[in-house]
Amino acid sequence: DSGVTQTPKHLITATGQRVTLRCSPRSGDLSVYWYQQSLDQGLQFLIQYYNGEERAKGNILERFSAQQFPDLHSELNLSSLELGDSALYFCASSGDPYRGPNQPQHFGDGTRLSIL
Amino acid sequence: AQKVTQAQTEISVVEKEDVTLDCVYETRDTTYYLFWYKQPPSGELVFLIRRNSFDEQNEISGRYSWNFQKSTSSFNFTITASQVVDSAVYFCALSDTGNQFYFGTGTSLTVIP
């Protein structure tokens, strides 16, 4: 058990809809990362938050947004969903990765999103 | 531009053989971090190692070892005496000064009993 909780585990919805994926980081971890894994695009970094502030942005579409709340949980919002958004979305957490060597990232089990 | 190349798409070895997974990266940053992750058939992602660009010391953790060579921009991963449980997809990744992550396409390792 990594200590990172992602909900829901599976989500099936239709094109044009909006969904929210939730991530609770491991206790004590301040950083949250979101990744997308699809057959077409492989594993892609979407966005990172540290203690409520956006720290880095990767290949995140404008239709997607995220935030980290004061209790450090994070939500990834996906809107105007397209078939190509079907993927496995992972959340990971870590301490401040740039304070010391080998800060491990702890991954959740992922949310599998299927767009019909 | 940042790029990570894992040229080996699939590798099969017989149990107890040693296997090396190659990772070559491109970056113009002088400060960067390299990672390896494991994704077993069950689908979860497991962090294996993080190495910063100023630390070229090789690392060994049990049957796993990593060889970081800045001269060849490589960060290779060796599994010694492979086991069936090592069967997984392994991803190499680079994180730059902008804190972005760039992943390779992964190497699927099958260990045959």
Average pLDDT over residues B4-22: 97
Q: Cβ atoms within 10 A of the Cβ of B74, count?
A: 16
Q: Is B85 on the interface with A (CB under 8 A)?
A: no
Chain B positions touching A92 (Cβ under 8 A) are: 45, 47
Q: What are the tens digits of pLDDT across the range B35-72?
A: 999 999 999 999 998 888 988 888 888 999 999 999 99
Instruction: Give the whole-angstrom CA distance, residue B37 versus residue A92.
Output: 12
**Stretch (H or E) spanning B21:** strand B19-21
Instruction: Give the whole-angstrom CA distance, residue B1 versus residue B25.
Output: 10
pLDDT the model gives residue A98: 62
- Selecting from B35, B55, B106 the residue whose C-beta is nearest the C-beta of A42 gives B106
| Upper half-sphere CA count for residue A55 (Cβ side, 13 Å) | 21
pLDDT the model gives residue A100: 54
Mutate to test the interface with B, among A102, A103, A106, A112 (most CBs of B within 10 A): A102
**pLDDT: is B78 or A97 the higher one?**
B78
Q: How far is A115 from chain B (nearest CA, A)?
A: 19
8 A C-beta contact, residue A25 and residue A72? yes
Q: Residue ranges of chain A with pLDDT lower than 50?
A: 101
Strand partners, B99: none
Instruction: Give the whole-angstrom CA distance, residue A78 versus residue B77.
Output: 35
* Rounded CA Rg of chain B: 14
Q: Is B33 on the interface with A (CB under 8 A)?
A: yes
Quick one: which of A88, A90, A78, A63 has its CA closest to A20?
Answer: A78
pLDDT the model gives residue A101: 46
Q: Cβ atoms within 10 A of the Cβ of B89, count?
A: 19
Amino acid letter, residue A41? Q
How far, in Å, are A49, A50, A73, B31, B34 from residue B52 at the CA level? 20, 20, 28, 7, 6
Quick one: which of A10, A74, A48 has its CA closest to B43?
Answer: A10
- Selecting from A48, A57, A105 the residue whose C-beta is nearest the C-beta of B47 gives A105
